[in-house]
Chains A and B, each alone.
Chain A
């Protein structure tokens, strides 16, 4: 219940709480009024009883002393008939031993009977103990009959207080009706007012959650005019939304530029790859031209020419594959890793570097992972490693199939990653360009695949490990 209430929007919770408070105040006020009414009635009743008893004491004293049954009855009967207040139901006068002398209703309290036969005298309240709590609407009071300073008997009086109970019931009903209407009205007004006051919060919350979690600016016509707190809040919010949009735009452009940089690097290595065999191919073409009459030489040169051209076709095919955007959704295959090797091998060769290439993952291990991002991650890391290792350096890529996932380990014997490069690889904080090409792209791609990156420096070698979760781990996440 409380949890369900806590889940309600604040623009509903606050009005409900204010309405509840008003109802509470109404209840407390009603209780106070009723308590005061009861006290006033009890005081009135006590006053009435005191007058009744005092009057009877004066009138009956001598008769009670003489135990004059008729005089006591006559006085009680005339007092009853003369009494404007018809509350008195029964008055019984007894002597000091508790024997009834006379009563207004002798049939209920016969002459000579015991007062204690009529009621349990210990439970009958004294004059100052009157309480309006009886269920049958009758109140009994026992008082001493004092004459000339001494108690000569007792007076038991029973009163009908049902009119007082009815008065309280009417007051209760009136209070319930009035308070229900009043607190209901006030609560409604409170609901409307607080909802109105809290509307900016709803607008803010709505705009923040709009558009797939991307905050949207508040349209200018919804921003209140003037310099109210709400207007300032809305303007500040809009500024923040603009700043967020600008930041993500910057990041997108940065990533694009990095992609272009890595593409440039790749194309230069491709140019080498294409350029290197070109000399040999041209020589072969010259040989064919020069020794056209020598079939063996022509055939040999043509073979060289064909193999060289095939190599060029494979290289350009690999480059084309890498840049085909529509491959992003396709599953990773062993051929992708072969392509990758073909793309980077010329660069390593150019610098006379040793390139280790160990693939310890089956086609099934690779299949759960998307080809495009994984190729990009591996390419960028390897290109960076080749660059860091320098001429004649050593670089290796190892791909391991895990129980549920894939691990890429790129190692190089270079001097290690700079601070700036590490920041690019491990944080989303904005950095200046340069120092580790495509590392920010690696970071973004790995985090988009739910994977993680580890960096280690071990025996003069830089080890970067990328772990990508398998299908099951991704589902759990």
Chain B
């Protein structure tokens, strides 16, 4: 599945590259810039991948390789061991490895670099809050996702409960879209999902998102950031990438990609944006 998407993305990129008249031949010894992607955004959208590749290729004048992995943990691992140069990660793993990683940009959504976590259930479900969902099946996105796990787990921790003893059973779907699918199909009663993903899905795929409703929303938290290893953040390629990110809204390719992603742009960002996540991490770790 991963390979298929990668290949499809590559073919799309090649076609787009030739259409844009970008240089087809790469100078010898020009290693591609490798960017890791997590399923934070619309993970199965090959168009998004092709657009991102075009954007960064054009802005950095360097071939770019987009790597997808099933879990946040795998992408984080690749970043820490230096197999990739940068990654679009979640605030939670960023804070988990705060010492080793540096922030190089935070996407801006609806004018702010913030998003929320939603607790969703079926439209006919009578639940009005997390407490009403006890004993049901729950879908998390990823154990290293802030919106898809940490927010609900920390809310439960504040109630003195853990996901395992609160829910009859909880499953990981490794994708925010999959959480929506699980709840929409009735596989699980409720799910923890990225509010940004759910809102965008409501626009682009109302047939799916419409089969779920938001039971509760978290406070505003730092948007999933672009990060690089702290010891490599000064490298020219990483610096070019940070520059390409911040200037995305100034290029046609960048604007197209941002439009597809329903984002306004990418801001430099401050670590303090993720204080809310840090607080939740502390609540969970206390259990």
Interface residues of A (CB under 8 A from B): 68-70, 73-74, 77, 102, 105-107, 110-112
Question: Would you call B181 and A69 a contact (CB within 8 A)?
Answer: no
Confirm or deny: B239 has a beta carbon within 8 angstroms of a beta carbon on chain A.
Answer: no
Across the interface, B181 reaches (CB within 8 A) one of A68, A77, A102, A105, namely: A77
In the complex, the chain A residue whose C-beta lies closest to that of B173 is A70
Question: Would you call B168 and A107 a contact (CB within 8 A)?
Answer: no
In the complex, the chain A residue whose C-beta lies closest to that of B140 is A70
Question: Would you call A73 and B168 a contact (CB within 8 A)?
Answer: no
Question: Would you call A70 and B139 a contact (CB within 8 A)?
Answer: yes
Across the interface, A106 reaches (CB within 8 A) one of B168, B172, B173, B187, namely: B187
SS class of chain B's interface: helix, strand, loop or mixed? mixed
Across the interface, A111 reaches (CB within 8 A) one of B137, B172, B174, namely: B137
Chain B residues with CB under 8 Å of A111's CB are 137, 169, 187-188
Q: How far is the CB of B123 from chain A (nearest CB, A)?
A: 13
Q: How far is the CB of A149 from chain B (nearest CB, A)?
A: 26
Chain B residues with CB under 8 Å of A102's CB are 187
Chain B residues with CB under 8 Å of A107's CB are 185-186
Contact with A along B169-190 (1 / 0, CB 8 A): 1011110001001100111100
Q: In the complex, A110→B178 CA distance in Å?
A: 17
In the complex, the chain A residue whose C-beta lies closest to that of B187 is A106
Q: How many of B's residues come within 8 Å of A, CB to CB? A: 15
Question: Would you call A73 and B169 a contact (CB within 8 A)?
Answer: no
Given A106-B186, A111-B137, A111-B187, residue A70 in contact with residue B169 (CB < 8 A): no
Question: Would you call A69 and B187 a contact (CB within 8 A)?
Answer: yes
Question: Would you call B178 and A74 a contact (CB within 8 A)?
Answer: yes
In the complex, the chain B residue whose C-beta lies closest to that of A69 is B171
Q: How far is the CB of A279 from chain B (nearest CB, A)?
A: 148
Question: Would you call A70 and B185 a contact (CB within 8 A)?
Answer: no
Across the interface, A70 reaches (CB within 8 A) one of B168, B172, B186, namely: B172
Q: In the complex, A70→B186 CA distance in Å?
A: 12
Question: Would you call B171 and A77 a contact (CB within 8 A)?
Answer: no
Interface residues of B in 130-186 (CB under 8 A from A): 137, 139, 168-169, 171-174, 178, 181-182, 185-186
11 inter-chain pairs at a CB distance below 8 angstroms, sorted by A residue, are A69-B187, A70-B139, A70-B171, A70-B172, A70-B187, A73-B187, A74-B178, A106-B188, A110-B137, A111-B169, A111-B188
Q: In the complex, A105→B186 CA distance in Å?
A: 8
Chain B residues with CB under 8 Å of A70's CB are 139, 171-174, 178, 182, 187
Q: How far is the CB of B3 from chain A (nearest CB, A)?
A: 16
Q: In the complex, A28→B168 CA distance in Å?
A: 61
Chain B residues with CB under 8 Å of A74's CB are 173, 178, 181
Contact with A along B206-241 (1 / 0, CB 8 A): 000000000000000000000000000000000000
Q: How far is the CB of A431 from chain B (nearest CB, A)?
A: 113
Q: In the complex, A102→B182 CA distance in Å?
A: 11
Q: Which of B168, B171, B186, B187 has the most CB of A within 10 A?
A: B187
Interface residues of B in 81-98 (CB under 8 A from A): none
Q: Which of B169, B173, B181, B186 has the most CB of A within 10 A?
A: B186
Across the interface, A112 reaches (CB within 8 A) one of B169, B172, B174, namely: B169
Question: Would you call A106 and B185 a contact (CB within 8 A)?
Answer: yes
Chain A residues with CB under 8 Å of B168's CB are 112
Q: In the complex, A106→B185 CA distance in Å?
A: 7
Chain A residues with CB under 8 Å of B137's CB are 110-112
Please give me the 9 A-B residue pairs with the lowest Cβ-Cβ distance, nearest first.
A107-B186, A106-B187, A106-B186, A70-B173, A69-B171, A70-B171, A73-B187, A106-B185, A111-B137
Instruction: List 17 other contacts, CB 8 Å, given A70-B182, A73-B182.
Output: A70-B172, A70-B173, A70-B174, A70-B178, A70-B187, A73-B187, A74-B173, A74-B178, A74-B181, A102-B187, A105-B185, A106-B185, A106-B186, A110-B137, A111-B137, A111-B169, A111-B188
Chain A residues with CB under 8 Å of B173's CB are 70, 74
Chain A residues with CB under 8 Å of B185's CB are 73, 77, 105-107
Q: How far is the CB of A272 from chain B (nearest CB, A)?
A: 137
Chain A residues with CB under 8 Å of B181's CB are 74, 77
Chain A residues with CB under 8 Å of B174's CB are 70
